[in-house]
Amino acid sequence: QMGRVYNFSAGPAVLPEEVLKEAAEEMLDYNGTGMSVMEMSHRTKEYEAIINTAEQDLRDLMNIPDNYKVLFLQGGASSQFAMIPMNLMKNKVADYIITGQWAKKAYQEAKLFGTANAVASSADKTFTYIPDCSDLPISENADYVYICENNTIYGTKFKTLPNTKGKPLVADVSSCFLSEPVDVTKYGLIYGGVQKNIGPAGVVIVIIREDLITEDTLPGTPTMFQYKIHVDNESMYNTPPAYGIYICGKVFKWLKKMGGLEAMKVHNEKKAQILYDFLDQSKMFKGTVVKEDRSLMNVPFVTGSEELDAKFVKEAKAAGFVNLKGHRTVGGMRASIYNAMPIEGVEILVAFMKEFEEKNA
């Protein structure tokens, strides 16, 4: 009677069923407390255990070195578009690599606070590739270099990080968080909204190198927008998004059980390959991204006919594959296949696409 669909949404997105069931079981009485985590003061030892365990599990999963702090904040990923320059723009200069709308929004926000330079862009080809970032004109006094590592809307991913010429790298990993192993030491700051791979919207996780956390923020920076305040208060300066963090914690446990990020990478590569292999031989469906920059998480594709696209989305929905419509600015289709999307979900989507192609040839 519980009709779960295959949800290909770009976010909020599919979460592990196991996690949802566990949360449901604990809804009325968490661990003998007689209350839901939603009803629980964050200043209790039960809640402290939840957030501390979540942080430790994330540290284990990503192998986060001790000189990086982990923050669970609110305001979504977009809050960081401002928080990053307010805290990091000591020289009031930052370099941005524009690979899509989310990078562009961050870049435009940074302009409110200082000089933001677009040092590379793939706007010339509708963001269907990642520019060569091996030798960019990085500003001598840049406080950081900014990327959006996986571009949710366009389906591209940085396979090689940019050469920042010694400047701290700041990365929005919202749509590739915990999808494969990362070398945290290559970054000054990593952040992401959790509503794709990790948990409920609103929570944003920030992983920041200690030397970038200072009291020396731009004049007028609100208290809630200071990393140091949140670091000093261990993400409890104010009431954290407590229930959301609890769900994130459960997903971290699930990821550990699944074998961690190495295993996730294998799982995600398998899924993406099934879909990309189909797209590469199809006479009707075509992927929109250059092969070497394809995302493992977001797979945009088109038929070349808007009518046929609409027909496909409609019939797919009726068959239980939902949220396949492409972003409103791109059109066509997009299948987001985050960690919690099972292989079967992609296999039967491809079977459905094959059938659709035969019927509409």
245 binds ligand PMP (CB under 6 A): no
Contact between residue 264 and residue 178 where contact means Cβ atoms under 8 Å apart: yes
The Cα 156–Cα 288 span in angstroms is: 10
142 Cβ contact partners less than 8 Å away, ≥ 6 residues apart: 91, 93, 94, 95, 117, 167
Binding mask 199-218 toward ligand PMP (x if CB under 6 A, else -) reads --x-----------------
H helix intervals, the chain: 17-25, 45-62, 76-88, 101-110, 227-232, 242-257, 260-281, 306-318, 343-359
Question: Cβ of residue 201: shortest distance to ligand PMP, in angstroms?
Answer: 6
Q: Which is nearer to ligand PMP, 30 or 243 (CB)?
A: 243
**Structure tokens of 170?**
């700041």
249 binds ligand PMP (CB under 6 A): no
Per the annotation, the verdict on 172 as an active-site residue is: yes
The answer to whether the peptide bond before residue 12 is cis (omega within 30 degrees of 0) is: yes
Tell me which stretch binds ligand PMP (CB under 6 A): 137-145, 172-180, 215-223, 225-233: 172-180
User: Segment 175-194, which members bind ligand PMP (CB under 6 A)?
Assistant: 175, 193
11 binds ligand PMP (CB under 6 A): yes
Residue 195 counted as an annotated binding residue: yes
Contact between residue 33 and residue 40 where contact means Cβ atoms under 8 Å apart: yes
244 binds ligand PMP (CB under 6 A): no
Q: Which is nearer to ligand PMP, 21 or 111 (CB)?
A: 111
The Cα 175–Cα 335 span in angstroms is: 13
336 binds ligand PMP (CB under 6 A): no
CA distances from 317 to 10, 15, 287, 332 (A): 15, 19, 20, 14
- Summarize as ranges the residues that interact with ligand PMP (CB under 6 A): 11, 76-78, 102, 148, 152, 172, 174-175, 193, 201
Binding site for pyridoxal 5'-phosphate, by residue number, is 77-78, 102, 152, 172, 195, 238-239
Q: Which residues are annotated as a binding site?
A: 43, 77-78, 102, 152, 172, 195, 238-239
Instruction: Give catalytic residues, as residue numbers.
Output: 102, 172, 196
